[in-house]
Amino acid sequence: MMSHKMGELFCGPGGLALAATRATIGNPKYVIEHAWATDYDKDTCATYRRNLCADDASSVLCEDIRNLDYGKLKKISEIDALVFGFPCNDFSVVGEQKGIDGVFGPLYSYGVKALEYFEPDWFLAENVGGLRNANDGNAFETILNEMDGAGYAVTPHLYKFDEYGVPQARQRIIIVGIKKGLGKVFRAPSPAPYKDVDVSVRTALETPPIASDAFNNEKTAQSKTVIERLSHIKPGENAFTADLPEHLKLKVNGAKISQIYKRLDPDKPSYTVTGSGGGGTHVYHWEENRALTNRERARLQTFPDDYEFVGSKESVRKQIGMAVPYLGAKVIFEAILRTLADMEYESVDSNIQWRKRP
């Protein structure tokens, strides 16, 4: 049996875990099973437990990784695979971009320490596209070289998830590493098999319709001002590109973020769903004068409708925004399994170049 037991750091609400445990390559010897997971957010951990390991709740530790004893995780289970979507706050183009000099930037190092401690056969790490440019590109080079130095053949790739069947223009760097001693090299899966998939927002949200009693489907009570503002914004426009009456214009100095009160274009993929930000950042319906519900946002992240998020409406919005799209990640996990099983699959060269240290 070649089942791979997976441990996960910074597990979030479980987009990567759902993808991993549902990945299949037609060979029952190559599957991925949940072993343990950890995150510091209580609602996030509750969501993960409810959907992925309801019968083994103690396998999810809700602790700050900076204080976490890896020995606790090892007592739960040895692992063959490690997954970690290390926090992106300091690498995101929306933030201050402090890179590894910020509060969250250094957290990648706990993933590297875990590789050295657990010595899994392979790993998958995820972060935002802005990681490439943090600290003038030095942060990304440092991270890749440390992963390489831990003993892994590393393949970074910038994935445009709308090219892989996800109804959202979301770009993320996924780094896959396979232990050098195994003699296998991962190649990024090609998006070609997904070129005819309908990734329009309309199809994502309406086919099939969302049940009225679906989980996390409460509507936001919009103010009269917001409703009036949205009535002047056409699909694809935002608060700064629309022709708004003077009393509805936003008084903003400096950068005007394009996603503020931006309506979706129903015939295109959604713009990136985020979990942070105040009014105007909640993703807006193309026709109705309202923000999307959390269930609609979850659809854009390709979570199934029976995936139940735990917590307040704002907590759930944050969880959905931080997640990795389930269906996009599933493509990558299946490519990993095929690599390990020496099975052919359609692939592309990595679109990220980096300098290995001698």
Residue-wise burial string across 294-323, b where 16 or more C-beta atoms lie within 10 A, e elsewhere: bbbbbbbbbbeeebebbbeeebbbbbbbbb
- Pairing of β 32-39 and β 152-160: unpaired
Cα 88 vs. chain centroid, distance in angstroms? 10
Among candidate residues 11, 45, 53, 88, the one labeled active-site is: 88
88 carries an active-site annotation: yes
Q: What distance in Å separates the CA atoms of residue 316 and residue 299, rounded to the nearest whole number?
A: 13
Of the chain, the end-to-end C-alpha distance in Å amounts to 38
User: Distances from the Cα of 193 to the Cαs of 196, 338, 346, in angstroms?
Assistant: 8, 16, 8
Cα 299 vs. chain centroid, distance in angstroms? 13
Token pair for residue 195? 């070129």
Residues acting as catalytic residues: 88
